[in-house]
């Protein structure tokens, strides 16, 4: 069975390094045969992602346990997920650590286990805080345009009459779909805005064909975003993708509405 020890030099007399992932060497030791291998840390120790490379190394070499001074909770979780036991709080030389491990003394040290457990608990809490923060950020970036859209709909309610809308959306399936797709193609925005605009248009008696085409093209086709898309992927890709998406929006819309009405009829 193999174990990995973070160490400051390449022999068994090396001191166990304090941080897993940021040590000069990783000693891979076969505790049964005593055979060992010193692998220099592939990453510059100050480099971002050094921890990940150390994980890959430990997993790749078939280590079943990692002995180190300290291991950050995210890395400990990753190692745990790969079936590697993490023992922290280890000091002294690598040779002593191997002996203690063989005698099972490391596991018996309850304080170490407690430390390990608390590290995992801190990890979970950190993950939760991180998730709340990103959710808050995503939610907040959603708001400005959404508020703008809702404010515009208020104006729309006041100044646009049903007659004005029916002069554009006449109820003709083909034309309604086409017009809806055209309006939706101007921007490539967050889908939530298309739901709100589409939902309000429905209340005005605009057909579901027009609204669906609008929703479908809102995300998938974007004239305003075209320059950025061309810059990223080239003219041909951008034109092709937007053109094909626009063309496909028509059958997708018609199929959606037809299937919906068939299923609704079948249910009732």
Partner 1 sequence: MSNSSRQRSITRRIFRGMALFPVITLAVYGIIAVIMPDKALLAIKSSVNIFFNMLIPLSMIFVLMLLINLFVKPARVAKFLGKGSGIKGIALSAAAGIISTGPIYAWYPLLKDLREKGAGDSSIAIFLYNRAVKPFLLPVMVAYFGWLYVVILTILTVLASVAIGYSVGIFMKAEQA
- Footprint of partner 1 (CB under 8 A): 48, 127-128, 130-132, 134-142, 144-145, 147-148, 150-155, 157-159, 188, 190-192, 195-196, 198-200, 202, 212, 215-216, 218-220, 222, 225, 228-229, 231-233, 236-237, 240-241, 244-245, 248, 252, 255-256, 259-260, 263-264
Specify whether the CB–CB gap between 195 and 171 falls below 8 A. no
The token pair that represents 261 in the structure block: 């009405």
Q: 115 or 190: whose CB is closer to partner 1?
A: 190
The DSSP line for 167-210 is HH--S-HHHHHHHHHHHHHS----HHHHHHHHHHHHHTT--HHH
Where would I find the beta strands (DSSP E) of the chain?
2-7, 25-30, 36-40, 63-67, 85-87
Mention every residue, 6+ apart, whose C-beta is less than 8 A from residue 212.
177, 180, 198, 252, 253, 256, 257
CB 222, min distance to partner 1, A: 8
CB 135, min distance to partner 1, A: 4
Q: 114 or 263: whose CB is closer to partner 1?
A: 263
Distance between alpha carbon 6 and the CA centroid of its chain, in Å?
30
Q: 40 or 199: whose CB is closer to partner 1?
A: 199
Q: 57 or 249: whose CB is closer to partner 1?
A: 249
Q: 104 or 158: whose CB is closer to partner 1?
A: 158
CB 239, min distance to partner 1, A: 10
> Helix crossing, 173-185 with 208-220: angle to 10°?
30
d(CA 89, CA 117): 12
């Amino acid at each position: 069975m193999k174990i990995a020890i973070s160490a400051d030099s390449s022999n068994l007399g090396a001191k166990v390094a304090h941080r897993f992932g940021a040590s000069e060497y990783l000693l891979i030791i076969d505790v049964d045969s005593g055979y060992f291998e010193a692998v220099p840390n592939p990453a510059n120790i100050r480099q971002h992602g050094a921890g990940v490379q150390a994980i890959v190394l430990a997993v790749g070499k078939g280590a079943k346990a990692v002995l180190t001074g300290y291991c950050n909770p995210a890395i400990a979780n990753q190692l745990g997920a790969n079936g590697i036991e993490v023992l922290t709080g280890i000091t002294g030389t690598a040779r002593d650590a191997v002996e203690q491990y063989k005698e099972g003394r490391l596991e018996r040290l309850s304080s170490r286990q407690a430390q390990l457990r608390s590290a995992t608990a801190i990890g979970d809490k950190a993950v939760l805080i991180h998730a709340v923060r990103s959710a808050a950020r995503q939610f907040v970036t959603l708001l400005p345009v959404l508020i703008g859209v809702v404010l515009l709909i208020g104006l729309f309610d006041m100044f646009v009459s049903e007659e004005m809308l029916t002069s554009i959306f006449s109820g003709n399936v083909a034309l309604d779909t086409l017009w809806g797709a055209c309006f939706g193609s101007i921007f490539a925005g967050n889908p939530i805005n298309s739901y709100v605009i589409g939902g309000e248009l429905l209340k005005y008696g605009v057909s579901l064909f027009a609204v669906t085409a609008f929703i479908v093209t809102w995300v998938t086709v974007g004239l305003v975003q075209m320059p950025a898309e061309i810059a990223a992927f080239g003219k041909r890709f951008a034109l092709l993708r937007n053109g094909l998406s626009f063309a496909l929006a028509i059958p997708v819309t018609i199929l959606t509405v037809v299937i919906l009405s068939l299923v609704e009829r079948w249910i009732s």
